[in-house]
Structure 1
């Protein structure tokens, strides 16, 4: 759902840029409370993983594909504020290095794909985990529903932005119907990927999943007079609490394999927005990307003739760059938070 340059006029692009900047500023402050010494490097890995999975377009209908947006996954794994930053880093890397998503539309994309998906998904997720039984399977089920709803929510948000600043004269009703319809199908893929990933991490290290915090009920002891006393659950052993190396290594290897190898087999059909834009004429005023001459444009390495190798190298470079930038941002945030706490 990466919006290119030319879809949205300048005033609305500027306005969404301001919204995106404000959301990132709020998230930078909020992420300081969510991040710990263990989770700061993992947040960078989540950004890199989302980048990798976004390269895997999957078919959803005749001539249409979809890909992960990632807001739900990031919010549930590392928290909503950190999740907004994760997706923002991914969008920035894609726009600057790979000419994917317009640079003048960066505010639109962050507002839609980072803010809307994360806020909607996490709100739905928290509501569901409060009413569902307190068990790991409930977290996975809540992740599925939250991710499913976040995608059509982003489609509706794009429709609203287009209604305010679209550069073409297309009836808004037709845009809404087409966007909502195809993105409900894409949401099913998003939900499956999110639930599988969250379930896999919970099975190995539930203490690293932000959305699973407080999952274990406190131990209830009955006293001699019949009353009960709650005993807090024991904290994980220090060694286990510190050791995230295996999780980070497994996540990095998976991201590299997805971006460097599996991405070659992804669907080449246009994604939901591209298909709707072409069918309805929204793309008639699309502009060339400012980074179209980037050596990594369109996820291909310049001067590498073999498409499989070129795409794989581009994916590996993208994972590495996103991991480096994301980890740097989150480690710095954590250090500043630690300094504030010490002061």
Structure 2
């Protein structure tokens, strides 16, 4: 039976999105039930409660699928949790002809994709992202992996899912902080590639409190198209795909610090939002980003995200975390920077004193 829905063609798989994504998923599962020896669903306590019932309603045969449960939270994106997933798959009798369904946000698609890609040297998996971060960014592009020694995404593979199903209705299950976390990535896409998307995102921040399926569908599709276009051109992140890392060099360091030191750690998106302000500052020094655009970026981000207390981490601690970033060569810290809103340049380097200036710029806002 052919699958018909709005879709984006990626590297060997399709991203189904919009109002027809449920029907596309239902048809896929109907076919999968006759194709795979078994089906497993990876989820956490939140998606089991808030998302699994809708999945059962739209694909009733999945009530027979085995559930693989892991705890939510970035602190669990580690080799211990990965081993638990492998052990569950083995206990469930999974074979190389089994399917893993990743039902959740970026953590679920990252660790689930890695588990599937390595279990019995690789089984098929699909992603059903339930967070804005997952729908607009993490679930596509094939990046899978885990954190190691408090450093983000140090071990992993680039392996594509069989399909991705982006269903905006799941966004109704998210709280304000979770929506903001994903919104940071949408703002990033506008800053690196599409001035009009940046304008649309900054002018429609009310979406974070007033749900509109049509508006979310439109803005997520724009983000998906941008990321997929870049990933198709550079699937292994040897060149232009690095543009997606804007805000992430400093952001990942802050996220790792917060995870180790804060009782209520900041989210990935909150860390990237800080990183975008700091790296926009570095862009003014290295590439001559206009100061008015720097001020606009800072103002828009701070109108959405609460200020984080950067007095706790010292600069040397954060810079040391940045040195572990997987994009680096030798001891040089690699940045993607902006030369204007909507245009970014990869493989940029700067002195540590400029990084400290950027952190102080944020502190003084």
TM-score normalised by the chain length of structure 1: 0.27
TM-score normalised by the chain length of structure 2: 0.26
Larger RCO (CA within 8 A; separation ≥ 6):
1
Structure 1 or 2: larger strand share? 2
Structure 1 or 2: larger helix share? 1
Select the structure of larger CA radius of gyration. Answer: 1
